[in-house]
Chain A
Amino acid sequence: EPEVTQTPSHQVTQMGQEVILRCVPISNHLYFYWYRQILGQKVEFLVSFYNNEISEKSEIFDDQFSVERPDGSNFTLKIRSTKLEDSAMYFCASTEESGRVNTQYFGPGTRLTVL
């Protein structure tokens, strides 16, 4: 069964450094998402991406965040200058198409630890 994959599974970085989290959505899916989950808290929406542009973003997704689909398969989240509070699990998700109700399928997540 097709699945969303994410790399790396765990990323440790120093405060102020840039990180890029990578995702490979399910191949025929058209909508892509990033969510995060701070330890012990609920899953929070960051951004959605469709047709090579951001379709929706939350207040969390400020100027230090950016997303990109550099090729036909990868979808990346970049955090320009990491802060301690960026430590969280980051989940990528994808869904087949808009216009009808579709399930969002989540990847296994990348655990980001900012020291």
Chain B
Amino acid sequence: SQQGEEDPQALSIQEGENATMNCSYKTSINNLQWYRQNSGRGLVHLILIRSNEREKHSGRLRVTLDTSKKSSSLLITASRAADTASYFCATSLNSGYALNFGKGTSLLVTP
């Protein structure tokens, strides 16, 4: 299985702090995507990084990808209470193929 697995399972920080979540996977991938899910809601796409990319930024988000270690990290800088959600990494063999999701990291940002 090429499933992504995130760690930590749960993370609690205060507003203004940075949050780092990690994802590991098992097989070669074409791309890796990070999604956010608020409790009981749908999945919101955050950022996609291709297998030939090492780092990508989008606003307060920074994603890194290390294909040699089969791992990725998501950094949220200057966190806000509204960032409270579950974060999932999802890997894909190729565009048009299934996304394989990890179990997610539950992030709690307290004011």
Residues of A within 8 A of B103 (CB): 41-42
B31 lies within 8 A of chain A by Cβ:
yes
Residues of A within 8 A of B99 (CB): 33, 35, 43, 45, 93, 104
Query: On chain B, which size bracket covers the interface?
Result: 20 to 34
B24–chain A nearest beta-carbon distance, Å:
14
B68 lies within 8 A of chain A by Cβ:
no
Interface of A is mostly: strand
A35–B101 CA distance with the chains assembled, in angstroms = 10
B70 lies within 8 A of chain A by Cβ:
no
Is there contact, CB below 8 Å, between B41 and A109?
A: yes
**By the criterion of a CB under 8 Å from any partner CB, how many residues of chain A are at the interface?**
31
B32–chain A nearest beta-carbon distance, Å:
10
Residues of A within 8 A of B35 (CB): 106
Known: A48-B97, A101-B95. A106 touches B30 (CB 8 A): no
Is there contact, CB below 8 Å, between A33 and B98?
A: yes
A89–B39 CA distance with the chains assembled, in angstroms = 12
Chain A positions near chain B (C-beta within 8 angstroms): 31, 33, 35, 41-45, 48, 50, 55-56, 58, 89, 91, 93, 95, 97-109, 111
Q: List 24 A-B contacts (CB under 8 A).
A: A31-B95, A42-B101, A42-B103, A43-B90, A43-B99, A45-B98, A45-B100, A48-B96, A48-B98, A91-B43, A93-B99, A95-B95, A98-B94, A99-B95, A101-B31, A101-B95, A103-B33, A103-B45, A103-B48, A106-B35, A106-B42, A107-B42, A108-B42, A109-B42
